[in-house]
Amino acid sequence: MASLTAHELEAIGVTTYSVFAVAYFASCFGRISVACLLLQFTQARAWRAVLWSMIVFQGLLLLACELVVFLQCRPIRAFWAHTANAQCITPKQNWTMGYLFAGELGTCFLGITFLGFL
């Protein structure tokens, strides 16, 4: 079994970092598009308020996640390469942000409640 060189490991780290930066956009915009679609199906004021609040929350969550991605290590290079005097958030803080994002995925099932109205 071949081992990876330092250059290959760094290339993997840069790619992983880039994927994280883009993946949050894809995930949040997917949920925002579902909420916008559901807005077309209802005229009930309460449901529209819930959907609009979900859209705003998704935007705020996206901003928070992107801030964490870009500010989790100073300098940014420390995310994928051993860098002297680097300052990164602790793994516990990183896990907390991950749990917050994953726990919020429950809003994906909001659309199921609309099936009874169609």
Determine contact, residues 42/117, Cβ cutoff 8 Å: yes
DSSP letter for each residue of 49-107: HHHHHHHHHHHHHHHHHHHHHHHSEESGGGGTS--TT-EE--HHHHHHHHHHHHHGGGG
pLDDT of residue 52: 92
Nearest to 61 by CA among 25, 16, 14, 89: 25
Dist CA 88 CA 75 (whole Å): 9
pLDDT band at 92 (very low <50, low <70, confident <90, very high): confident
Average pLDDT over residues 59-79: 87
25 with 62: CB under 8 angstroms?
Answer: yes
- How confident is the model over 71-94, as a mean pLDDT? 86
61 CB-near residues (< 8 Å, 6+ apart): 28, 100, 101, 104
pTM for the structure as a whole? 0.73
Looking at the chain, how many residues does it have?
A: 118
